[in-house]
Structure 1
Amino acid sequence: MSKKKIAIYFFAVLPIVMVALFYQKLPDLVPMQWGSEGVSRYGGKWQLLFIAGINILIGIFMPIMAKIDPRKDNYAKFYSVYENIILLIEVFLAVIMAITISECLYPGKISVARVVSGGVGLLFVFLGNIMPKIKSNFFTGIKTPWALSSEAVWNKTQRLGGKLFFFGGFFMVVGAVFAPIAMMPFVVGILVTAIVILPIIMSYIWYQEEIRLLNK
């Protein structure tokens, strides 16, 4: 078994292990959502067990999805990258769980808005670096109808998405360090909107250009 697979299994169970270890010490109501001014929603601590289970589901179902994808043969061309994506998501969610538990036991010790925004930014930076390596499939990457219909458009869309994720993530990290906390939801919102919308628009334009060239 490779070290990467061991890491995937480790981080798949880590959040639920953390919750189990601290469960008796946690208050009955725990923070579930934060805004720029602090905790905006609480929930029962039992809900953390279900949230922690998301990592287990990711560790189980993402490898399965690669096997049932109609374009499963393409995964052989980027499966190491696919495993990196699984691992990055698991690590990110494990960090979020650690922050939640920390805030339950030692409230106010962490600026959650800054740490989470910075964490999302770093996740985007890493994803931006590997996104251009993703080959055409139905589960991973920027999957517009036009990208799925053309390998050339797919490759252009993933390259653009990679750049947007990388630089968007970079500016999220900078914003997490320097921007006023009240502005951070707007900064993140604007960047995420650009990251989502621009590849959709450009993949449509590239596909139409390809169709026009084929029809000449």
Structure 2
Amino acid sequence: MREHALIVMSWVTVAFLAAIATIALALLPEGTRLPVHWNLAGEADRHAGAAFALFTPVAMCAGLSLLFAVLPRIEPLQNRMEGSAALYRVTWIALLAVMVMVQLLVAAPAFGWAIPMTLPFVAVGLLLIVIGNVLPKSRPGFFVGIRTPWALLDTDNWIATHRLGAWTMMAGGAALLLVGLLPLTPAARGALVVGALLVSTVPPVFYSWLLWHRRTGR
């Protein structure tokens, strides 16, 4: 797989996040605390010192970039890795975009930006829709895709599982978009987030087992 361009893109993104963090830290008064965690209702429920909050997305982005750069080299099923190239690359790029969004959200107070706290739901919703769109374009592997034990053992099971997973993931992503855009109460928002995540993940796993059960009679 040719991931050189993605590696360059990743380190450019890391440098961009580091620049935002450095400028924001210089603008904030000493002792400022910024949000570092949001609950399922989209409310900031944990804060930390400005330096830690601003440079955590930088470190996370660097770590994710390193992980994605290493995965193709440690995949045991090297002959099938190219079959999942589209999913691998799109997921990498989408996660970089999410990290930029997180950094902007954390740094917003330093620049006087009024960014809605529900923006992460919109970002994750778009992430799921994008990944769901390319999910069927993958083949069995240990690091990419819906890696149930039944799908890993059977290519037909893998393909069928990922076709269903594409629809459920896009449905969950669309639900998260609505969560981020509609004026909901915190309780309703939290319930819809849990529902969207369950819809995205549970049906493909159960379907993969069901296909194996029907085929083997076990």
Q: For the superposition of Structure 1 and Structure 2, which TM-score range results when normalised by the shorter chain?
A: 0.7 to 0.9
- Write the mapping of 1:25-174 to structure 2, written as runs, cut at 5 A: 25-27=27-29, 28-35=32-39, 36=41, 38-48=43-53, 49-106=55-112, 109-113=114-118, 115-174=119-178
Q: Secondary structure at the match of 2:135?
A: helix
Compare 3-12 and 176-185 and name the one that shifted more. Answer: 3-12
Distance 1:134 1:37 in 2: 32
* 8 Å contact from structure 2 (residues 7, 65) kept in 1: no
Distance 1:41 1:98 in 2: 17
- 1:148: how far off? 1.2
Equivalent-residue separation in structure 1 for 2:42 and 2:123 (angstroms): 19
Deviation at 1:199, TM superposition (A): 1.3
Which residue is equivalent to 2:216? 211
Whole-angstrom distance in 1 between the partners of 2:175 and 2:110: 29
Per the normalisation by structure 2, the TM-score is 0.86
Alpha-carbon separation, structure 2, partners of 1:138 and 1:96: 28
Q: 1:31, 1:104 within 8 Å by CA — same for their partners in 2?
A: no
Inter-partner Cα distance in structure 2 for 1:105 and 1:40: 21
Residue segments in structure 1 that go unaligned for 5+ positions in a row = none
Q: Does 1:200 align with 2:205?
A: yes
Per-residue CA shift, 1:24-46, capped at 9, x if unaligned? 22353211123447432111223
Q: Tell me the secondary structure at the aligned position of residue 133 of structure 2.
A: helix
Q: What SS does the aligned partner of 2:175 have?
A: helix
| RMSD (Å), alpha carbons | 2.3
Letter in 1 for 2:70: I
Residues 3-26 of structure 1: per-residue CA shift (max 9 Å, x gap): 655433322433223212322223
Once the two structures are overlaid, the 10-residue window that deviates more, 17-26 or 33-42, is 33-42
More deviation, 3-12/149-158: 3-12
- Percent identity, aligned pairs only? 18
